Amino acid sequence: GEDVEQSLFLSVREGDSSVINCTYTDSSSTYLYWYKQEPGAGLQLLTYIFSNMDMKQDQRLTVLLNKKDKHLSLRIADTQTGDSAIYFCAVLNQAGTALIFGKGTTLSVSS
Amino acid sequence: DAGVTQSPTHLIKTRGQQVTLRCSPISGHKSVSWYQQVLGQGPQFIFQYYEKEERGRGNFPDRFSARQFPNYSSELNVNALLLGDSALYLCASSLDARGEVDTQYFGPGTRLTVL
């Protein structure tokens, strides 16, 4: 079945850029998502990218997709302490009914 | 506009009991999906419902069941609770179940603890 892998931790200084990486196995995935989860909260949709795109930029967020390598990344520019959270990569399954999530990357931002 | 709402926020049950979790989707959304998030893991898909019909089911035992009502709200039922059912249960709503262009928006979740 579909599998999504992420590195578990990332630590950066305030003002630096953060890059969170994700790999997935199903090349037929059409939509790929990034969600943010703060402690004790649900998931907040950050952005998504369609599989025929290489890059999408949304304010401080840049998503890069390498479909050949099945690699997705999320870059956060000028990282702030409020960006500290768990970031989940998710891909839509073949049936288009379910999101398959990675285990999440914990981003820690120090001032 | 109100987002996805879930009730209750927290719940404590004992092994063998049954539980019902509730979800109200964003106004105008017709599809509801349920996910289980165990501590330290990513969410795992349980069900998707659209127009009161089950459109997808994840790898969960028959103790898990769900339904969707005419107003598009949904309930998730879990029977014969096990300790391993302790998790955050997330509900997500989307406009419809076509998937490809259909972004899922999540509620705050219900934290279930089984003792």
Query: B60 — contact with chain A (CB < 8 Å)?
Result: no
- Nearest Cα neighbor of B24 from B73, B79, B93, B80 is B73
Instruction: Output the six-digit token pair for A96.
Output: 């288009």
Provide the sign of the torsion angle of the four alpha carbons A106, A109, B3, B7, taken in this order. positive
| Parallel, antiparallel or unpaired: strands B110-114 and B10-13 | parallel
The verdict on a CB contact (< 8 Å) between B100 and A41 is no
| B25 touching chain A per CB within 8 A | no
Give percent above pLDDT 90 in chain B.
Answer: 84
* Pairwise CA distance, residues A83 & A46, whole Å: 11
Q: What average pLDDT score do residues A8-27 get?
A: 94
CB-based contact (8 Å) between B84 and chain A?
no
Residue A39 sits at the chain B interface (C-beta within 8 Å):
no
DSSP characters over A18-39: EEEEEEES-TT--EEEEEEE-T
Residues of B in contact with A48 (CB under 8 A): 103
Reported as a pLDDT band with limits 50, 70 and 90, residue A30 is confident
Q: Which pLDDT band holds residue A41 (cuts at 50, 70, 90)?
A: confident
State the average pLDDT over residues B54-82.
96
Q: Quick one: residue A96, left, alpha or beta (phi over 0 = left, psi -120 to 50 = alpha)?
A: left
Say how far apart CA A31 and CA A33 lie, in whole Å: 7
B102 contacts on A by Cβ (under 8 Å) = 96
